[in-house]
Amino acid sequence: MLEHIIFDLDGTLTDPFLGITRSVQFALSHFGISVENLEALTCFIGPPLLDSFRQFYGFTEEQAEEAVVFYRKYFRETGIFENEVLEGIPELLSNLCAAGKKLYVATSKPQIFAEQILEHFSLRTYFQGVCGSNLDGSRCRKAEVIDDILNTLPPNASAVMVGDRMYDVAGAKEAGIPCIGVTYGYGGEEELRQAGADRIAATVQELEQCLLQESRDE
């Protein structure tokens, strides 16, 4: 029986669009790069920041590290709460807890920020544990944070990952657990299917049915 459910944060539980894109915009402006269309920066939602600055703007390692410093300057002061809980998520978490599920968060976002966001939106009490990256850039790969959660569970515990990006699917596979992809986030169905998601849910309500169905099927 499925007992442990691990959630991604950005795009799965909350919509961080404004906070992340404005933080990236601020960081890029430090390098003289002006991006007026925030939609062009949605690619930063999901993967580790260092990777994104290198991949999408061709930054060197040193430039990417400097960009992250400026990103966090804006994010820590303003962007962290330019965020909103996705519709239906509190009800989903409450229903899963009522059904006896143990819930966790595994995110590439720094753990200290993830904890603050969950507390701010009164979601923290639903979760047994939260694992994110370290501020020094370590433990930023999704498989690493999932593994840290799994290491707290009993041997042979049944667990599943829920996320909206290919990084969630890849991290779950590397950690040895299945992944349910959600298309209401930022990845989309094609990305999730190509990554090998075990199941796809288009809405929060469909996700709830999927998670409770998994329990009945086992």
Which residues form the catalytic set? 8
Residue 4 has what DSSP assignment?
A: E
**Which residue, among 102, 127, 96, 101, has the nearest Cα to 114 in the 3D structure?**
127
3-state secondary structure of 31: coil
Residue 38 structure tokens:
């925030």
Q: Please list the alpha-helical segments (H only) found in 121-203.
A: 142-150, 166-175, 189-195
Residue 160 has what DSSP assignment?
A: E
Q: Looking at this protein, which amino acid is placed at residue 44?
A: F
CA distance 89 to 186: 16
Strands 84-85 and 14-15: antiparallel
CB atoms within 10 A of CB 138: 9
CA angle 76, 146, 199 (to 5 degrees): 110
CA distance 49 to 60: 13
**Under the phi-then-psi rule, with left for phi > 0, alpha for psi from -120 to 50, and beta for the rest, what region is 176?**
left
3-state secondary structure of 199: strand
